Amino acid sequence: MGAYKAPLKDMQFVLNELLDYSTHYNSFARGQEATAEIVLAMMEEAARFAETVLAPLNAIGDEQGCTLIDQQVKTPDGFKVAYAQFIENGWPALSHEPKWGGQGLPESLSAIVNEMFAEANWAWDMYPGLSHGALSTLIRHGNDEQKATYLPALVSGKWTGTMCLTESHCGSDLGLLKTKAIPHADGHYRIQGSKIFISSGDHDLSENIVHIVLARLPDAPHGTKGISLFIVPKFIPTSSGEIGVRNEVYCGSLEKKMGIHGNATCVMNFEDAIGYLIGEANRGLSYMFTFMNFARMGTALQGLAHSEIAWQKAYDYTQMRQQGRDLNVIEQTDSSPRVLIKHPDVLRMLLTIKAFTEGNRALYYYVLQQADRVLYFKDKQSIEDSHQLMELLTPICKAFMTETGLESANLGMQCFGGHGYISEYGMEQNVRDARISTIYEGTTYIQSLDLLGRKILMTQGNTLRCFTKIIHQFCKKHEQHLVITQWVKQLRILNKNWGNWALEIGIKALTDREEVGAAAYDFMMISGYICLAWVWADMARIASDQLSKGHTDTVFYQQKIDTASFYYDRILPRIEMHQKSMHSGLHTIQLTRS
């Protein structure tokens, strides 16, 4: 039991019925080729690859982990072959420009097929995942020569990329970083320093690795305003685009960690390594946000991935495993055990997982549409609107999808009882792998501060209003809908409160800005629950309309309504708890110290 199965039907439901991706792709030049047939064919091909190539390597990757031999990282058995097949299939090139060897399809499509790779084997998927971020940074901020040198090999997947930010004394607080970049006579720089926690920092999947590195010039201003961004390739490219001499950047050691064992988490030592400045000096941090926003959405996907795995495996297991009786017949000695899923509390756990998995997928795909619009639309207002939505929703996706993804992974394991704690079924690996997601690429608190402080309060609520307006319109349009009318009523009130609560914190913050810090986590969770209330109301609306039109797939659509109902009755009350905690203010978080 329990082989990974790509959730194509649920994905298609969101793409076609909820978000009408067909119309979306038809609305910009690059989307023209992404017809419904092409999209489906690609998804099916990706599903096959995820199911047959990546998923079987997931437990092996966990078991073997990576090893460091003579300053070179060896990945688990099968990872290298899978990667070769991956680039042969052209997956890395999918959404890049034809002039760099790309297939010129929309960015969102790349992310959608990537959902399946992520679910099948997250640790493996981080190798190409990091590349994709490095690529985006170079496309946006590299000069022509740099693009010509690096993009073709990165787009094809022949080379991969990394992102080198963290140092041992600075994680969230990049202003403290110390890695030095010394200007050299022939225009390049020499990078000196040590970076930690570098995912995919070294490995044997690709012939070259392009590190994107944050470092300080000798005369750089203090803090975050003195950080520059550099390209530091593992091998210096020759003029013909082949790999040349080995650069002085080495993996010093591998971290021993809780999960994602298949991915190499490296200490990277830069020992006078040759580096090339990206863009202008001292503007590295702002460039890095390109990478970081990408990475945050990538990590949000991790939350979805572990949640989907929890759902698939727990749903299968609980329909098969017999244990315990119906409480109505328990005293009858001849009563027979029933399958776990029939126990109300087991089903409560399963429905929680399902509500998060499918709700988060819908939200994620919605944000991907906004990303397409920002990248490919011509109309300035549309771009600005979508940009605002992404600004708001990216930290919510990162924090909320990983927090609830971790909850799902834990509930999925709980459904297995003692069998969940042993490695056999993969449920404990799923929890261990998921556990990092609320930490890296900015912890839940960092995301929460970004959301409430930078995105909402610093824009006087404008960014939030872009979104609450959309929910408001949804509520207005469907307030009379037969099935969802009660939910729309609740959603309308929550949507209004959302802005008001932000305002209340903003007023408190005039006296002490730390009020924002004290409220941020609860506010972020509330925001996530409201987002999912919106998508669940909409999914239930669509499902009920299909059923009243006589659609024959009654189980599929009725399950959507069941889950929406569960979400509103049993998950949404969490908002009240967060709201009370949030409103209690900064003064309730005090601990006297000597």
Q: Scan residues 447-476 and list those touching a copy of itself (CB under 8 A).
A: 448-449, 453
Q: Which is nearer to a copy of itself, 82 or 198 (CB)?
A: 198
Q: Is 434 in the site for a copy of itself (CB under 8 A)?
A: no
Chosen residue from 139, 383, 439, 470 binding a copy of itself by CB under 8 A: 439
Q: Distance (Å, rounded) from C-alpha 255 to C-alpha 8? A: 35
Q: Which is nearer to a copy of itself, 328 or 381 (CB)?
A: 328
Enumerate residues 166-205 that contact a copy of itself by CB under 8 A. Answer: 166, 170-173, 175-176, 196-197
576 part of the active site: no
Check if the beta carbon of residue 211 is closer than 8 Å to that of residue 232: yes
CB of 330 to a copy of itself, least distance (A): 8
Q: Distance (Å, rounded) from C-alpha 429 to C-alpha 426? A: 5
Check if the beta carbon of residue 221 is closer than 8 Å to that of residue 237: no
Q: For 252, list phi and psi in degrees, rounded to 5.
A: -85, -35
Q: Distance (Å, rounded) from C-alpha 107 to C-alpha 245? A: 34
Chosen residue from 207, 379, 479, 514 binding a copy of itself by CB under 8 A: 514
Q: Is 68 in the site for a copy of itself (CB under 8 A)?
A: no
Q: Distance (Å, rounded) from C-alpha 274 to C-alpha 150? A: 15
Q: Is 569 in the site for a copy of itself (CB under 8 A)?
A: yes
C-alpha pair distances (Å), 253 with each of 30, 244, 262, 304, 345: 43, 24, 15, 30, 45
CB of 408 to a copy of itself, least distance (A): 14
**176 DSSP assignment:** G
Q: Which is nearer to a copy of itself, 186 or 334 (CB)?
A: 334
CB of 420 to a copy of itself, least distance (A): 7
**Which residues are registered as beta bridge partners of 268?**
195, 251
Q: Is 291 in the site for a copy of itself (CB under 8 A)?
A: no
Q: Is 64 in the site for a copy of itself (CB under 8 A)?
A: no
Q: Which stretch binds a copy of itself (CB under 8 A): 12-20, 298-306, 465-473, 576-584?
A: 576-584
Please state whether 191 falls in left (phi above 0), alpha (psi between -120 and 50) or beta: beta
Q: Which is nearer to a copy of itself, 38 or 507 (CB)?
A: 507
Angle formed at CA 248 by CA 245 and CA 251, multiple of 5 degrees? 115
Q: Which stretch binds a copy of itself (CB under 8 A): 5-13, 305-313, 370-378, 570-578?
A: 570-578
Q: Is 219 in the site for a copy of itself (CB under 8 A)?
A: no
Element (H, E) at 138: helix 122-141
For CA atoms 482, 484, 486, 492, the dihedral sign is: negative
Q: Which stretch binds a copy of itself (CB under 8 A): 25-33, 382-390, 436-444, 462-470?
A: 436-444
Of residues 308, 358, 403, 441, which has the active-site annotation?
441
CB of 449 to a copy of itself, least distance (A): 8
Enumerate residues 334-373 that contact a copy of itself by CB under 8 A. Answer: 334, 337, 341, 343-348, 350-351, 354
Q: Is 507 in the site for a copy of itself (CB under 8 A)?
A: no
> Mask of contacts with a copy of itself, 388-427, x by CB under 8 A?
----------------------x--xx--xxxxxxxx---
Q: Which is nearer to a copy of itself, 378 or 593 (CB)?
A: 593
Enumerate residues 525-554 that contact a copy of itself by CB under 8 A. Answer: 554
Check if the beta carbon of residue 415 is closer than 8 Å to that of residue 318: yes
Enumerate residues 299-328 that contact a copy of itself by CB under 8 A. Answer: 319, 322-328
Chosen residue from 91, 100, 366, 521 binding a copy of itself by CB under 8 A: 521
CB of 65 to a copy of itself, least distance (A): 12
Q: Distance (Å, rounded) from C-alpha 290 to C-alpha 312? A: 33
Q: What is the DSSP string of 488-510?
A: HHHHHHHHHHHHHHHHHHHHHHH
Instruction: Name the residue with tokens 């506010």.
Output: 523
Q: Distance (Å, rounded) from C-alpha 510 to C-alpha 519? A: 14
Q: Is 279 in the site for a copy of itself (CB under 8 A)?
A: no
Enumerate residues 96-135 that contact a copy of itself by CB under 8 A. Answer: none
CB of 348 to a copy of itself, least distance (A): 5
Check if the beta carbon of residue 92 is closer than 8 Å to that of residue 86: yes
Check if the beta carbon of residue 457 is closer than 8 Å to that of residue 392: no
Please state whether 416 falls in left (phi above 0), alpha (psi between -120 and 50) or beta: alpha
Q: Which is nearer to a copy of itself, 362 or 564 (CB)?
A: 564
Q: Which is nearer to a copy of itself, 404 or 410 (CB)?
A: 410
Q: Which is nearer to a copy of itself, 350 or 475 (CB)?
A: 350
**103 DSSP assignment:** -
CB of 224 to a copy of itself, least distance (A): 9
Chosen residue from 185, 240, 256, 550 binding a copy of itself by CB under 8 A: 256
Q: Distance (Å, rounded) from C-alpha 478 to C-alpha 119? A: 34
Q: Is 580 in the site for a copy of itself (CB under 8 A)?
A: yes
**Which residues are registered as beta bridge partners of 237?**
243
Check if the beta carbon of residue 348 is closer than 8 Å to that of residue 354: no
CB of 334 to a copy of itself, least distance (A): 7
Query: In sequence order, which residues have a C-beta less than 8 Å from that of residue 168 and are 6 or more positions away?
Result: 194, 196
Which three-class secondary structure state does DSSP give residue 139?
A: helix
Chosen residue from 123, 520, 531, 537 binding a copy of itself by CB under 8 A: 520
Q: Which is nearer to a copy of itself, 121 or 437 (CB)?
A: 437
Q: Distance (Å, rounded) from C-alpha 426 to C-alpha 406? A: 15
Count of residues that interact with a copy of itself, criterion CB under 8 A = 99
Catalytic residues: 441
